């Protein structure tokens, strides 16, 4: 981010990085009770609680920093589970973000998860489309284990007439791709 801004390729911005593992109190493998073996998904990781309360993050940032407190001044993006959260937060708050970036995103919630965030998926996605946005950006690697999920999601967007930018790279669910996606997405923000 610093390099993109210093090179004049990105607008100066405040970046907020939340911990989407809402039940996790420390870094993976650590807790107040000691060390443990990290697992793929902790309780409450993708159950709607994080998305439902995300407005608290926006309120905190807007009360703590001098920011443009409007849709045109907000972007949301994430990789993997963070892409999942970004998709559902931007859909659940459909008139909040002008810029959405999904990097190797998990897409659909587990059918066993019951949350108001995951209800009316198509209706809230349509509301997001109807409210307008400047950029909806999707990146995925050809061998990513989430490739088919992203393909199916793009078909849904196509059927709704929801415009997006799509970038497909070599490789899978890896940091190399996410660095590429970030470096391509960020220069498009706040223009």
What is the chain's pLDDT, residue by residue, as a tens digit (191 residues)?
999 999 999 999 999 998 877 666 656 666 677 766 656 566 667 788 889 999 999 999 999 999 999 999 999 999 999 999 999 999 999 999 999 999 999 998 877 778 889 889 999 999 999 999 999 999 999 999 999 999 999 999 999 999 999 999 999 999 999 999 999 999 999 98
Closest alpha carbon to 169 in 79, 46, 75, 81: 79
Strands 30-31 and 99-103: unpaired
> Between the CA atoms of 81, 83, 89 and 90, what dihedral angle is there, to the nearest 10 degrees?
-170
CA nearest to 85, candidates 119, 57, 51: 51
- Residue 34 phi/psi, 5-degree rounding, is 125, -170
Quote the crossing angle between the two packed helices 81-92 and 54-64, to the nearest 10°.
80
Instruction: Return the H-helix or E-strand segment holding 178.
Output: helix 175-185
Which pLDDT score, from 0 to 100, does residue 188 have?
Answer: 98
DSSP state of 176: H
Instruction: State how far the Cα of 43 lies from the Cα of 101, in Å rounded to an integer.
Output: 25
Residues facing 77 on adjacent strands:
101
């Amino acid at each position: 981010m610093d390099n993109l801004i210093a090179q004049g390729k990105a607008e100066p911005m405040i970046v907020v990085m939340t911990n989407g593992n809402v039940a996790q109190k420390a870094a993976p493998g650590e807790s107040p009770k000691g060390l443990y073996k990290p697992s793929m998904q902790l309780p409450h990781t993708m159950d709607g609680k994080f998305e439902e309360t995300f407005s608290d993050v926006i309120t905190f940032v807007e009360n703590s920093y001098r920011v443009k407190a409007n849709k045109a001044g907000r972007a949301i993006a994430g990789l993997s589970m963070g892409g999942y959260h970004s998709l559902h937060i931007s859909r659940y708050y459909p008139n909040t973000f002008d810029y959405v970036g999904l990097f190797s995103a998990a897409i659909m919630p587990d059918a066993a998860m019951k949350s108001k965030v995951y209800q009316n998926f198509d209706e809230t996605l349509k509301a997001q489309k109807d409210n307008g946005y400047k950029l909806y950006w999707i990146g995925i690697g050809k061998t990513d284990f989430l490739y088919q999920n992203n393909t199916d999601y793009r078909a849904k967007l196509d059927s709704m007439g929801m415009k997006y930018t799509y970038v497909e790279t070599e490789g899978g669910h890896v940091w190399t791709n996410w660095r590429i996606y970030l470096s391509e997405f960020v220069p498009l923000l706040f223009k």
